Amino acid sequence: MTMAYTDERQPAQGRRDAEATKAAIVRAARYLLARHAHGDITLKAVADRAGVSPPLILKYFGNKDALFSGVMNFEADVDALLDAPLQDLGRHMVRSVLTGQAERGVDPILRIVFAPLHGAQGDILRANFRTQVSERLAARLTGDDAGLRAELAVGLLLGLGVMYGIARGPHVRAAGIDDVVDRYGPAVQAQLDPSAP
């Protein structure tokens, strides 16, 4: 005799699978946005990268613009990027940029480089970047020129991300992460805390 059995965990498993699939789609879209202009990215390319079908993206996000409005949010990435005491923040941010590229092929902030020049998506991405990255970093700094120093520090990180992840500079990529952190971290730290040696 076979007993009917209902696994009460099944609905939760389904939700976890859906959340994992959504996360994979967002990761794929972020990866592509860090390498291509928004207008050049198709849902098929995102689906292929995420290992799902394009209709599944439509089911979860509705359309390409809805998907990319979430991708254009920097909050979660910036939490990790700024997760260090101020005296160690420059080195930490450099390490975050490099390890993100080396280990996951993504950069916490590099997708701003491919911001569309026109339209609502470009406006959203630039506004999010200013408030969620530059202004949030500036809020941790002291001095009248905290905003300028935050933007200069972020600019240094973007340059490193471009050289490592997009230009694929052979010397930067061949150097050990610790070596680059030791060389580049102080330059970023000098903007964060000008009184640091």
**What is the tens place of the pLDDT at every residue in 66-125?**
887 777 778 878 888 999 999 999 999 999 999 988 887 667 788 787 666 566 667 778
The per-residue pLDDT for range 149-190, each reduced to its tens digit, is 999 999 999 999 999 988 889 999 999 999 999 999 999 999
Asked if 46 and 25 touch (Cβ cutoff 8 Å), the reply is yes
Which residue's entry shows tokens 């849902």? 43
CATH number of the domain within which 127 lies:
1.10.357.10
CA atoms lying within 13 Å on the CB side of residue 104: 16
User: What is the predicted pLDDT for the residue at 86?
Assistant: 95
Quote the domain boundaries for residue 22: 10-71
Please report how many Cα atoms fall inside a 13 Å half-sphere around the Cα of residue 93, on the Cβ side: 33
Number of Cβ within 10 Å of residue 189's Cβ equals 23
The total number of structural domains in the chain stands at 2
Mark whether 97 and 48 lie in a shared domain: no
* Contact between residue 47 and residue 77 where contact means Cβ atoms under 8 Å apart: no
Specify whether 36 is located in the same domain as 98.
Answer: no
Q: What is the pLDDT of residue 1?
A: 42
Q: Looking at the domain assignment, is residue 1 inside a domain?
A: no
In a domain, 174, yes or no: yes
Give the whole-angstrom CA distance, residue 60 versus residue 41.
18
Look at residues 71, 90, 124 and tell me which one is the last residue of a structural domain. 71
Domain check: are 30 and 83 in the same one? no
